[in-house]
């Protein structure tokens, strides 16, 4: 799966549910997606939190996307955290974690995302091995490349996000003898600030409100087994 910027609870549930997680960072960057933005909960509903990036060719890979520091987006993000989460139970811990990673001032978006993912996994007690596909030689394209990555990692089963149902070639999994399941995302609610519950807020909303207890709020329901 591609690296997301401060992904939602389901993203980390998927990482927690597998033995080996591949960060697909050598594939085409998708715009208007979750790579460089996510949403936090405010008193006016969900608001976007975006990492600005330099313009790149349409077919640029994720590894080629560079962060744009010409605007002070770090300060703007931190101000938003103070404005909307300063009354949360675990404000200081969560704020300090994110600020520490931000202040590394990574050049590449994939490096910022990876550091945030690993730091948040530590808080959640997730011990899954994480590998970047750019560091490996994986032949093929689309489903064939995915299957080759699974075999390279010694895997026998693949857990996918539900959106992949539209493009995964199930027959190839059958032919390869690899099991396939899709995640379900039926999660219980947790305490939030600012009115009615929002299921799809960034994982940091969960950290601000629950911190270490978040690990008990990740996996709630069985996944959908296909083969």
pLDDT on residue 220: 64
For the purposes of burial, counting CB atoms within 10 Å of the CB of 153, is it exposed (0-12), middle (13-18) or buried (19 or more)?
Answer: middle
- Give the predicted TM-score (pTM) of the model: 0.95
Half-sphere exposure (Cβ direction) of 108: Cα atoms closer than 13 Å: 14
Percent of the chain with pLDDT over 90: 85
> With contact defined as beta carbons under 8 Å apart, do 29 and 61 qualify?
yes
Backbone φ and ψ of 200, nearest 5°: -100, 25
Summarize pLDDT for 166-219 with one digit per residue, the tens.
889 999 999 999 999 999 988 889 999 999 999 999 999 999 999 988 776 666
DSSP-derived pairing of the beta strands 157-160 and 179-182:
parallel
Summarize pLDDT for 142-170 with one digit per residue, the tens.
999 999 999 999 999 999 998 888 889 99
Helix, strand or coil, per DSSP, at residue 96: helix
> Rg of the Cα trace of the chain?
18
Helix 73-85 to helix 91-102 angle (10° resolution) is 170
Summarize pLDDT for 24-66 with one digit per residue, the tens.
999 999 998 999 999 999 999 999 999 999 999 999 999 999 9
DSSP string, 189-221: P---SSSS--TTSBHHHHHHHHGGGGGGGS--S
Residue 71 confidence (pLDDT) above 90: yes
């Amino acid at each position: 799966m591609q690296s997301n910027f401060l992904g939602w609870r389901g993203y980390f549930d998927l990482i927690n549910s597998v033995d080996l997680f591949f960060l697909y960072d050598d594939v085409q960057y998708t715009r208007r997606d979750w790579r460089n933005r996510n949403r936090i909960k405010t008193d006016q509903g969900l608001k976007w939190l975006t990492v600005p990036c330099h313009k790149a060719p349409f077919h640029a890979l994720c590894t080629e996307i560079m962060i744009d520091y010409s605007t002070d987006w770090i300060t703007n993000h931190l101000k938003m955290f103070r404005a909307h989460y300063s009354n949360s139970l675990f404000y200081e811990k969560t704020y300090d974690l994110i600020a520490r990673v931000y202040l590394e001032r990574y050049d590449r978006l994939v490096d910022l995302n990876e550091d945030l993912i690993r730091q948040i996994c530590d808080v959640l007690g997730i011990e899954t091995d994480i590998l970047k596909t750019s560091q490996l030689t994986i032949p093929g394209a689309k489903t064939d490349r995915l299957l080759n990555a699974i075999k390279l990692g010694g895997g026998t089963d693949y857990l996918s996000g539900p959106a992949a149902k539209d493009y995964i070639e199930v027959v190839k999994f059958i032919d390869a003898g690899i099991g396939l399941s899709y995640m379900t995302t039926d999660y219980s609610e947790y305490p939030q600030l600012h009115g009615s519950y929002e299921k799809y807020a960034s994982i940091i909303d969960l950290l601000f409100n629950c911190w270490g207890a978040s690990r008990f709020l990740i996996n709630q329901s069985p996944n959908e087994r296909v083969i």
